[in-house]
């Protein structure tokens, strides 16, 4: 796989690294993602999409905090990526960040992976809202779906 660096942005509380992995872009936010730093992630995500990377892997393993503004940046990128025929995959979320996604229900609209390698290997459907690898992050996201599957046919 090509491992060319695409770019990076930095602020006191957030550093965003972007690298190319074949036809995907891996975006790694490091630090705190909030209303003060959201543009430092939004701009590289938009840039990747404008360069034709429809599959974005966000490596959350070094993301220490994410508020609603940060969540909205990721949701916006997801919509743009899906419109381009791709998706946004989240990888390696720390428990404190995973909790934000769980509380808001946002984990149900993202494909969540334990690792970047797992996300890059996923050739499945975009944004199916689940985890393909038993991730601890995306537990019990399909409450309504599970009820329908376990019930008897009408």
- The residues that bridge with 111 in the sheet, in sequence order, are 89
What pTM, to 2 d.p., does this model score? 0.76
pLDDT tens, residue by residue, 14-24: 999 999 999 99
Q: What is the model's pLDDT at position 128?
A: 43
pLDDT tens, residue by residue, 24-75: 999 999 999 999 999 999 999 999 999 999 899 999 999 999 999 999 999 9
Q: What is the model's pLDDT at position 11?
A: 52
In the numeric block, which tokens belong to residue 35? 């209303």
pLDDT, the chain, mean:
80
pLDDT tens, residue by residue, 79-126: 999 999 999 999 999 999 999 999 999 999 999 999 999 999 997 644
Q: What is the model's pLDDT at position 139?
A: 33
What confidence tier does 143 reach under pLDDT thresholds 50, 70, 90? very low
Q: What is the model's pLDDT at position 54?
A: 87
State the Cα–Cα distance between residues 63 and 141, nearest whole angstrom.
22
pLDDT at 5 over 70: no
Helices 68-83 and 95-104 cross at an angle (nearest 10°) of: 70
Q: Which of 62, 64, 140, 61 is nearest to 102 (CA)?
A: 140
What radius of gyration do the chain's Cα atoms show? 15
């Amino acid at each position: 796989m090509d491992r060319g660096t695409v770019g990076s942005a930095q602020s006191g509380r957030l550093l965003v690294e972007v690298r190319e992995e074949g036809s995907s872009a891996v975006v790694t936010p490091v630090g705190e993602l909030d209303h003060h730093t959201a543009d430092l992630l939004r701009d590289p995500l938009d840039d990747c999409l404008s360069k034709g990377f429809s599959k974005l892997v966000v490596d959350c393993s070094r993301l220490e905090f994410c508020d609603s503004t940060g969540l909205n940046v990721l949701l916006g990128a997801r919509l743009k990526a899906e419109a381009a025929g791709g998706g946004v995959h989240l990888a390696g979320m720390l428990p404190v960040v995973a909790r934000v996604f769980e509380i808001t229900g946002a984990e149900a609209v993202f494909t969540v992976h334990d690792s970047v390698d797992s996300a890059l290997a996923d050739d499945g459907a975009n944004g199916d809202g689940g985890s393909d690898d038993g991730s601890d992050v995306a537990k019990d996201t399909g409450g309504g779906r599970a009820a329908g599957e376990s019930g008897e046919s009408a």
